Amino acid sequence: MTADGPGYFCRVALDHVGTGSDLLLLSYAHHPAASPYRASGPIFVGHAAVRAHPAPGEIPDAMRPGLFAVKAYDAQGDIVDADVAEGVALESGIARFLRRPDTAFLHLHFARRGCYACRVERAD
């Protein structure tokens, strides 16, 4: 498809796709765990996407204006905690969840539409 305006976020580049850019709309199993929390959903991927590699602690600029549901999962894929965080305050929300010893990883979802944004893992 072609982006016909703003609002298309590439899950590979972790950036917005410009108007007129080609992109794919795909179903993605972002949480394939053998748990009741198993989940998949739609994602956009820009045609010329280059995989983002944010540095530890870095939040991509394109995520700053968003509102996110932050979900913490244990090693078995079960939710151990969840909350909502503004993009400008993601560092503190992420840090709070990663302080929990039972947190194995986090998922960020765009809170208003519920779409999967990305996975967050410990840098260690």
What digits encode the pLDDT tens for the residues 41-82?
999 999 989 999 999 989 999 999 999 999 999 999 999 999
Domain coordinates in residue numbering, the chain: 9-53+64-120
**Tens digit of each residue's pLDDT (9 = 90 or more) over 15-39:** 999 999 999 999 999 999 999 999 9
Rounded CA gap, 80 and 71, in Å? 8
How far, CA to CA in Å, does 10 sit from each of 2, 69, 101? 13, 18, 31
Sign of CA dihedral 25, 16, 119, 124: positive
Return the closest-CA partner of residue 55 out of 115, 14, 111, 97: 14
DSSP class per residue in 34-48: SSTT-EEEEEEEETT
Q: In the prediction, which pLDDT does 7 show?
A: 86
Task: State the Cα–Cα distance between residues 97 and 92, nearest whole angstrom.
Answer: 9
